[in-house]
């Protein structure tokens, strides 16, 4: 009797867990849908800004700007590299944080300047991991699940001010890049110094080519385009990280719900067998007792 009662309690507990994970899956699916719309809506703008900078580079030749070449007076003697690690505040999102922190660890091991430099973190999981590994964190940013462009713009302007004043030698962002619903990859983004993509001049070009005339001149356009490129790139990184977190949690909760369902079926089968054995034992005892009285 005690064994069947224990199995029944486990079946009830698994059922409760299944309801919780199914609810969390539905919430993650809803958040993922909204985050996906936001991430895919900002990507064309980011790519368009990079395209304009590339066209300007091809037309104007060598570009000279503090965001590309660093400050005119050079970096300060105590200038260090700055690394921004974007993780999640909550768990239950599968290998999302594990993959990010693995890439961050390898980056710090292969780049001592990054490990000895200034490390800033978004998300409690990253803070706890670095604290456990005794890696000092300079600043913790609280961004949330739905960052506005104004929040990221202030952060990007702070990074640009530090870089152009010579306080930091480079700014790199470690985040989860969203490729598709079934694929996300951790990536180290070189935010500053800004290296706009260059066209492949060795490959032959087929078809007509467009010639652009820029007005005003290149330096004036760069003063507007390059800061916008840095802000858009950082905003896109945050959007990719958030949508990747939601899809990872959605997949993890679906797997947990399916596993809870399978476990519930297995426990029900075990309970039925135990109950059947118990009934058989009781019937045997009754028959044995009746036979003894004859």
Q: Where are the beta strands (DSSP E) in 52-201?
A: 80-86, 118-122, 139-141, 168-180, 183-192
Mean pLDDT within 200-209: 51
Same domain, 191 and 125: yes
pLDDT of 201 higher than 60 = no
* CATH number of the domain to which 264 belongs: 1.10.287
Q: Tens digits of per-residue pLDDT, 146-200?
A: 899 999 999 999 999 999 999 999 999 999 999 998 899 999 999 998 875 544 4
Same domain, 6 and 56: no
The pLDDT mean for the chain works out to 87
What is the per-residue pLDDT for 60? 60
pLDDT of 37 higher than 50 = yes
Mean pLDDT within 247-267: 94
- Structural domain harbouring 229: 22-197+211-248
Same domain, 235 and 275: no
Same domain, 121 and 266: no
Number of domains in the chain: 2
- Which strands form 168-180's sheet, in the order they lie side by side? 139-141, 118-122, 80-86, 168-180, 183-192
pLDDT of 58 higher than 80 = no
Same domain, 148 and 242: yes
């Amino acid at each position: 009797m005690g064994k069947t009662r224990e199995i029944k309690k486990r079946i009830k507990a698994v059922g409760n867990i299944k309801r919780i994970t199914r609810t969390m899956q539905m919430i993650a699916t809803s958040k993922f849908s909204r985050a996906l719309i936001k991430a895919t809506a900002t990507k064309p703008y980011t790519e368009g800004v990079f395209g304009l900078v590339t066209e300007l580079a091809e037309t104007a030749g060598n570009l000279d700007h503090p965001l590309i070449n660093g400050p005119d007076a050079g970096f300060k003697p105590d200038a260090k590299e700055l690394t921004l690690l974007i993780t999640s505040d909550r768990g239950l999102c599968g290998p999302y944080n594990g993959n990010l922190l693995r890439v961050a660890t390898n980056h710090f091991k292969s780049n001592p300047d990054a490990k000895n430099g200034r490390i800033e973190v978004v998300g409690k999981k990253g803070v706890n991991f670095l604290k456990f590994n005794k890696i000092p964190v300079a600043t913790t940013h609280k961004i949330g699940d739905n960052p506005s462009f104004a929040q990221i713009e202030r952060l990007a302007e702070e990074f640009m001010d530090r870089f152009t004043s010579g306080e930091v030698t480079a700014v790199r962002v470690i985040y989860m890049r969203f490729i598709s619903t079934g694929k996300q990859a951790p990536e180290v983004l070189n935010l500053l110094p800004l290296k706009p993509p260059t066209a492949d001049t060795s490959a032959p070009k087929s078809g007509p080519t467009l010639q652009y005339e820029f007005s005003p001149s290149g330096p004036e356009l760069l003063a507007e385009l390059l800061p916008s490129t840095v802000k858009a790139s950082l905003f896109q990184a945050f959007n990719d990280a958030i949508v990747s977190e939601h899809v990872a949690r959605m997949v993890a909760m679906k797997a947990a719900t399916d596993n809870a369902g399978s476990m519930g079926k297995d426990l029900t089968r075990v309970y039925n067998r135990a109950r059947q054995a118990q009934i058989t034992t009781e019937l045997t005892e009754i028959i044995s007792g009746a036979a003894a009285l004859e």
